[in-house]
Amino acid sequence: SQQGEEDPQALSIQEGENATMNCSYKTSINNLQWYRQNSGRGLVHLILIRSNEREKHSGRLRVTLDTSKKSSSLLITASRAADTASYFCATDRGSTLGRLYFGRGTQLTVWP
Amino acid sequence: DARVTQTPRHKVTEMGQEVTMRCQPILGHNTVFWYRQTMMQGLELLAYFRNRAPLDDSGMPKDRFSAEMPDATLATLKIQPSEPRDSAVYFCASGLYNSGGPYEQYFGPGTRLTVT
């Protein structure tokens, strides 16, 4: 079963706007990761946030984690048409075996 | 630029035929994952290996799917016999895992399988 539940399922914005995607999960975690998938391609790791971290930045990406609410958000600032992709969150469900549990993803479309 | 490679990239076959998909993990990575992605089910983990030993293959239909790692540079996923419901994109991913973590995964480009 899917661990992460992203919302919205689809998001459509104009270039230059910010895009916010959310992820909720049900179990304790050691870390949460976000991946991007361009159409017809494999997933690409974007950013990882540990359970003891609350916020992390990487370029135009900002990830927050609220373990009390079991939720995370991914913010893409000043979006570009090239950001059009599906975005997935993944958790480890507290395991250290390395397996990740992926959500269904948010399809982001950025219009030029 | 180290990458996970998968072959073939596309495969069209008839129901009942055997399908073999291959994956070359990133050199030095000790863990390999096989996923299947469909619109209906999303991304499903089929099996994964660490140091070539299977850790979990509970996501695979055992009667027709098999996964192996003949050596550290090759992972294979076989379907025999294939069925139309096996049509999907199959991804291989690899990662380097040791005590502690955390761990990120590196995905290949996928094999798009169509079974008619």
Interval B14-49: pLDDT, tens: 999 999 999 999 999 999 999 999 998 899 999 999
Contact B97 A98 (CB under 8 A): yes
| B34 and B44 Cβ atoms separated by less than 8 Å | no
pLDDT, mean of residues B66-70: 96
Given a cut of 50, whether residue B67 has pLDDT beyond it is yes
pLDDT of residue A4: 65
pLDDT of residue A2: 38
pLDDT, mean of residues B52-57: 93
For all residues of chain B together, what is the average pLDDT?
94
Instruction: Give the residue among A3, A86, A89 at the shortest CA–CA distance from A47.
Output: A89
What six digits make up the tokens of B60?
């695979």
Task: Provide, as residue numbers in chain B, all residues whose Cβ is less than 8 Å from the Cβ of A105.
Answer: 42
Q: Is the dihedral of CA A72, A77, A82, A84 positive or negative?
A: positive
| A64 and A12 Cβ atoms separated by less than 8 Å | no
Residues 6+ apart with CB under 8 A from B99: A96
Nearest CB neighbour to A99, from listed B4, B42, B56 = B56
pLDDT of residue A98: 85
Contact B42 A96 (CB under 8 A): no
For residues B74-106, one letter each, b for 16 or more C-beta atoms within 10 angstroms of the residue's C-beta and e for the rest, the string is ebebebeebeeebbbbbbbbbbebeeebbbbbb
**Under-70 pLDDT residues of chain A:** 1-4
- A79 vs A18: CA distance, rounded Å: 6
pLDDT in tens, B81-103: 999 999 999 999 999 988 767 78
Planar angle of CA A111, A109, B34, nearest 5 degrees: 150
- A33 vs B103: CA distance, rounded Å: 9
Best residue in B35, B103, B112 for a mutation probing chain A (most A CBs within 10 Å): B103
